[in-house]
């Protein structure tokens, strides 16, 4: 049995070493590709952002020429210009959860709750039973690979 287990450990160590080598090689190649495209991508993102800003600016400056009270969408050859007016609440920085709670507006405060299992792990068995759970034994099997080249 010991020999069979040791043979399996040898297979695992070999496959893990090969896998790590391939993953390292892949990472190097991916970084090379990323470096080649990063400059091109960043240049295009900048050009795209500049064109979008210019279009929005053009629309703002020429709102009356592009849109009327009856027309809020202008279809052109390469796309459409859309103008919408909507009432929105300005998000003032002074509006905080403390302010809302002090004024009694708890419905406007988001509260995210979750179970803290690290705390529950420390509870007694009686407390665990009170919430409908229990402490159980879990059997765990692990292995360790030795570096065969360590001499």
pLDDT in tens, 68-125: 888 899 999 999 999 998 888 888 999 999 999 999 999 999 999 899 999 999 999 9
pLDDT class of 151 with cuts at 50, 70, 90: very low
β-pair partners for 73: 82
Lowest pLDDT segment from 22-26, 43-47, 104-108, 145-149: 145-149
pLDDT of residue 139: 85
Residue 50 has pLDDT above 90, yes or no: yes
Burial 46-67 (b: 16+ CB within 10 A, else e): eeeeeeeeeeeeebeeeeeebb
Please list the helix, strand and coil fractions of the chain in percent, rounded to the nearest 5, in that order.
55, 5, 40
d(CA 28, CA 11): 26
| 56-68: average pLDDT | 92
> What is this structure's pTM?
0.53
Residues 94 and 74: beta-carbon distance below 8 Å: no
Residue 143 has pLDDT above 80, yes or no: no
- Quote the percentage of the chain above a pLDDT of 70: 97
Tokens 């009432």 belong to residue? 87
């Amino acid at each position: 049995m010991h020999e069979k287990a040791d043979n399996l450990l040898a297979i695992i160590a070999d496959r893990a070493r090969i896998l790590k080598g391939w993953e390292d090689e892949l990472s190097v190649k991916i970084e090379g590709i990323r470096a080649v495209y990063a400059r091109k991508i960043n240049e295009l993102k900048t050009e795209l952002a500049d064109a979008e800003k210019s279009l929005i600016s053009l629309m703002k400056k020429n709102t009356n020429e592009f849109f009327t009270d009856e027309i809020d969408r202008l279809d052109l050859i390469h796309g459409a210009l859309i103008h919408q007016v909507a009432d929105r609440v300005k998000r003032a920085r002074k509006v905080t959860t403390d302010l809302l709670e002090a004024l009694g507006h708890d419905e406007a405060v988001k509260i995210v709750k979750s179970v803290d299992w690290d705390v529950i792990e420390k509870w007694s068995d009686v407390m665990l039973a009170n919430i409908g759970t229990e402490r159980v034994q879990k059997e765990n099997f692990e292995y360790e690979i030795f570096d065969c080249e360590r001499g």
